[in-house]
A and B are shown apart, each in its own frame.
Chain A
Amino acid sequence: MGEPFSGPLPWWRDRRVLPWLMQGAVALVVLLLIAFLLGNLVRNLSAAGMLLSFRWLQQPAGFDVSETLLPFDAGLPYWRALVAGLVNTLRAVLVGLVGATALGTLVGLASFSSNALLRGLARAYVELIRNIPLLLQLVFWYFVVFLALPNGEAALQLPGVVLAKSGLFLAWFGEGLRWSGPTLVEGVWQAPLRLTVEFSALVTGLVVYTGAFISEVVRGGITAVPKGQWEAAASLGLGPLVTLRRIVLPQALRVIVPGLNTQYISLAKNSALAVAVGYTDLYSVAETTLNQTGRAVEVILILLGAYLVIDLAISALMGWFNRLVRIRER
């Protein structure tokens, strides 16, 4: 029997070095693979005379973009057109997120209702909506619902809201910040706030579709709170609404938020289906740009980048919110 080994440990057996070494090797392989693919891409593009270039972004677009928040005309460069499209995408996504969250929460809560009819309706909504492809639903909302609306006097009129084929007219602060509703001027509706039917169809489709998934996330979160919590609250004499707000939801949120994040991200990505209903979002502008410039690779890279940034931003926000609502161990 020899002496037990007592000298310094050789580096290839050092637990502090080995994991770094292994991970370094894996990272190297991945980087090499990426470099190989990128190298090939650049080599083949240059062979085809299509070297990556973004100078075309400065050239005049030559096409029009409808319903922009920023002023745009065909004489402005491509990058302005893409920005206008991005703003349109963000507008639809933001409104969609708010609407889907509200609808999803309400339906999620409704599935706990003591009213059997309400419970049944909530179940039917979820099962119907989440099992039909979103694209079909968007086409349905646009062509079957919104484009079937009448125009002029025959339009659907509710207090402060008019639904017509020419758009959605809402009461809002008009000139001089005076609250004013939609009015009919020579057979054409006017209102301080007008949404196009394309925007309305897209947002309705996204809200109804994502709302179904969010309601399941909410239901799951609430179910995850032990029944004893409800019973304990009830024995303290708290009503159901107070129990929900003060006891159950704070505990449910830590389960709900991560699931919500996923749904928010899908909503942002699904907004690219806007092109099916004639809404000029980023994808639609990018597609026109791609066709006019022939810069397929560059345009797709821009698209990839833009959607990645939008989704990472949503994730970051939700991550921050998640830290806010998590249970702090004391």
Chain B
Amino acid sequence: MARMRKLLSAASLLAALALVGCAPEEGGLQSQKLATLKGRGKLICGVDGKLPGFSFVAPDGQYSGLDVDVCKAVAAATLGDPTKVDYRDLNSSERFAALASGEVDLLSRNTTVTLSRDAAGGNGLSFAPPVFYDGQGVMVPVASGIKGLKDLAGKPICVETGTTTELNLADRMREIAAAYTPLKFQTGDQTYAAYLQGRCVAVTSDRSQLAGKRTNFPDPAAHTLLPEVLSKEPLAPATVNADPAWSDAVRWTVYALMQAEELGITQANIDTKLAEAKAKTNLADLRRFLGVEGEFGKQLGLAPDFVVKAVKAVGNYGEIFERNVGTGSKLKLERGLNRQWQQGGLIYSPPFR
């Protein structure tokens, strides 16, 4: 039960804080989390688990999605095997307690980067680069005739509690001075069930999430997104602030997926690229990126060829996007802001130097 789990994680956070005798060791070169991970042989990754396109359990019991691929890439980079992941389904209000208490190593659960979540005095998270630039939207039944936010005045709106969505909704509705009734639910399942049962005339969330959930509706075509985009929602994987070396390993694994796309390295051609890098000593950039020379892996506490392993496991960023949420998938989302920077998007990896 979700609620039991949350209580447990909150309790274990309290207990951990109360019982741990000494503060965490000074962060040396070696990350404590990486050592734990290698000892355990598994990465514990917190995901949504019920969001098509991002993290979803297929009929065969396998997790798939964009968020899941990030978990796999990190497992491949750190442990050398993308299958060594334990997935934990977390709802939006239990996710931070689960991360802070160490119940999960990595949170890859369409989480918006915000100041208060990042700040040491707030949730104290450390964010990897955003893997999906999103915005908050509102979904209504086509038959309702609602055309914009103003039409929602005085109406009940379903929203998941513990999300930035909840606050943005309150802000926007205050701006246009429209009274409304927020109906808050603890899990996405309850939120969308109440919406489908007609308890509220609209449901609000990130636009990608609405599109993803809609694919599972009995009649997806009967629901439409309002044109308004309520907010910026950069969704990023997160780790705790306390272990900077581990955060760096995650951060640069994500960057590696983006850099691979920029360099035209794909899951299919990675082996030829690697052979090429090994053969031609003049391709210094490629040799460093793929770990043929240089110490990038070692500096991060990872294997020299962590990039090769990550790309081999899940492909580059563009491939991950297309496979899970792109125009070829069920969600049919355009790349939009999520194109590479040369194409006018926001996906931009700092140099691997």
Chain A positions near chain B (C-beta within 8 angstroms): 37-38, 40-41, 43-45, 47-50, 62-67, 73-75, 135, 143, 147-148, 151, 165, 197-198, 273, 275-276, 278, 280, 284, 287-288, 290-294, 296-297, 300
Contacts and interface: CB of A to CB of B under 8 A. Distances in A.
Nearest to B1: A135
Contact of A41 (B3, B17, B166, B198): B17
Contact of A74 (B21, B120, B170, B186): B170
B166 to A, nearest CB: 5
Interface stretch (B189-197, B256-264, B288-296, B314-322): B189-197
B14 A278 contact: no
12 contacts: A40-B19, A43-B23, A44-B23, A48-B120, A50-B124, A66-B184, A278-B185, A278-B194, A292-B167, A294-B116, A294-B124, A296-B10
A44 B124 CA distance: 14
Contact of A62 (B96, B163, B167, B180): B167
A49 B124 contact: yes
B121 A50 contact: yes
B96 A284 contact: no
Given A47-B23, A278-B194, A66 B124 contact: no
Interface residues of B, number: 50
A44 B3 contact: no
> Which label, helix, strand, loop or mixed, suits the secondary structure of the B interface?
mixed
Given A50-B121, A278-B184, A288-B162, A147 B194 contact: yes
A197 B97 contact: no
A197 B97 CA distance: 31
Contacts of A67: 181
A48 B120 CA distance: 8
Interface in B1-46: 1, 3, 10, 13-14, 17-21, 23-24
B190 A278 contact: yes
B161 A275 contact: yes
B197 A49 contact: no
Contact of A66 (B3, B183, B198): B183
B14 A300 contact: yes
Contacts of B166: 63, 288
A297 B17 contact: yes
A124 B1 CA distance: 27
A220 to B, nearest CB: 30
B174 A290 contact: no
B267 interface: no
A63 B19 contact: no
B171 interface: yes
Given A50-B124, A296-B10, A296-B97, A287 B186 contact: yes
Nearest to A135: B1
Nearest to B122: A294
A165 B169 CA distance: 23
Contact of A49 (B24, B120, B184, B194): B120
Contact of B96 (A48, A63, A73, A291): A291
Q: Nearest 9 CB-CB pairs, A to B?
A: A291-B162, A147-B197, A294-B123, A47-B23, A74-B170, A294-B122, A41-B18, A44-B17, A49-B120
A14 B127 CA distance: 66
B149 interface: no
A63 B170 contact: yes
B185 A49 contact: no
A33 B23 CA distance: 19
Contact of B170 (A45, A64, A135, A148): A64
Given A74-B171, A143-B197, A147-B199, 16 more contacts: A37-B18, A38-B18, A40-B18, A40-B19, A48-B120, A49-B124, A64-B180, A165-B199, A197-B199, A276-B186, A278-B194, A287-B186, A291-B92, A294-B124, A296-B13, A296-B96
Contact of A40 (B17, B96, B193): B17
Nearest to A43: B23
Contacts of B156: 66
A41 B100 CA distance: 15
A180 B122 CA distance: 51
A1 B13 CA distance: 67
A180 to B, nearest CB: 22
A148 B196 CA distance: 11
B198 A165 contact: yes
A246 B171 CA distance: 61
A247 to B, nearest CB: 46
Contacts of A40: 17-21
B131 to A, nearest CB: 21
A303 B306 CA distance: 45
Nearest to A150: B198
Contacts of B184: 66, 275, 278, 280, 284, 288
B3 A45 contact: no
B93 A291 contact: yes
Contacts of A148: 197
B182 interface: yes
B213 interface: no
Contacts of B182: 63-66
A288 B180 CA distance: 18
A45 B16 CA distance: 11
Contacts of A44: 17-18, 20, 23
A184 to B, nearest CB: 18
Contacts of A287: 93, 161-162, 186
Interface in B119-139: 120-124
B63 to A, nearest CB: 25
A64 B166 CA distance: 8
Contacts of A197: 199
A284 B93 CA distance: 10
